[in-house]
């Protein structure tokens, strides 16, 4: 079975083209000002309009207020909201109901103690993104190039689809998939030549590695 790929933090038209050519199932746009991958609503709208039909457009937001979400969805044609902050399950459910879009909740994992929360979020989300927990005092909630012990996920299943993230690169993603059984993976910094700058060759190499090319 092929593994679906989400290329996140895209900010240039060339990024969209490379991701589509590589067979992306999802593309992600970051709406978090501190990130080197952040895009404005105008940039995101233009990028989203260039995404081929059949590729889901994901908006990454961090502890968003309702007013910002209203503006975001009024201007950018997104398919999924990715909540990548400290949103509690009640807030996730509230956003999902209010905005009328599928919601993907990112959950940071460092050790086995972090796994319990996954069940709570699975009850209120359409998808989960299992990521490496950022270091304390980190400026970014994700995209830090960190991984976690993938053995923690071996054999585990949840009632909604989930996506593996955190420190994935063309050189380790195949092993990560084999160890976790992930059917979806997310990559951002692992296909960059420098922070925020996607490399088309790495994008294609990642896709080839994911599916055993």
95 in Cβ contact with 87 (< 8 Å): yes
Q: CA 143, 149, 154: angle at the middle one, nearest 5?
A: 115
d(CA 53, CA 55): 6
Known catalytic membership, residue 114: no
d(CA 57, CA 45): 10
DSSP 101-146: S-EEEEEEESSGGGSHHHHHHHTT-SEEEEEEPPPTT-S-SS-S--
148 in Cβ contact with 130 (< 8 Å): no
Known catalytic membership, residue 131: yes
Q: The tokens of 148 are what?
A: 């976690």
Catalytic residue among 114, 131, 186, 208: 131
For the four alpha carbons of 120, 122, 126 and 131, in that order, the dihedral sign comes to positive
Task: At 156, give phi and psi (nearest 5°).
Answer: -90, 145
Catalytic residue among 8, 113, 186, 208: 8
Catalytic residue numbers, as ranges? 8, 131
């Amino acid at each position: 079975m092929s593994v679906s790929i989400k290329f996140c933090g895209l900010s240039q038209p060339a990024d969209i083209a490379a991701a589509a050519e590589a067979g992306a199932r999802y593309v992600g746009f970051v709406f978090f000002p501190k990130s080197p991958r952040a895009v404005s609503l105008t940039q995101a709208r233009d990028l989203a309009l260039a995404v081929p039909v059949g590729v889901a457009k994901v908006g990454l937001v961090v502890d968003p207020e309702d007013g910002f979400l209203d503006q975001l969805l009024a201007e950018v044609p997104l398919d999924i909201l990715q909540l990548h902050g400290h949103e509690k399950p009640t807030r996730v459910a509230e956003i999902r109901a209010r905005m009328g879009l599928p919601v993907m909740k990112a959950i940071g994992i460092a050790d086995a103690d972090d796994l319990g929360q996954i069940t709570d979020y699975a009850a209120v989300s359409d998808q989960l993104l299992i990521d490496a927990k950022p270091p304390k005092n980190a400026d970014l909630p994700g995209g830090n190039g960190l991984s976690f012990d993938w053995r923690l996920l071996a054999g585990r299943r949840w009632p909604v689809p989930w996506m593996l993230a955190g420190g994935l690169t063309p050189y380790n993603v195949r092993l990560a998939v084999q160890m976790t059984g992930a059917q979806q993976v997310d990559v951002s910094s692992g296909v960059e030549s420098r922070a925020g700058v996607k490399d088309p060759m790495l994008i294609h190499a990642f896709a080839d590695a994911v599916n055993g090319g």
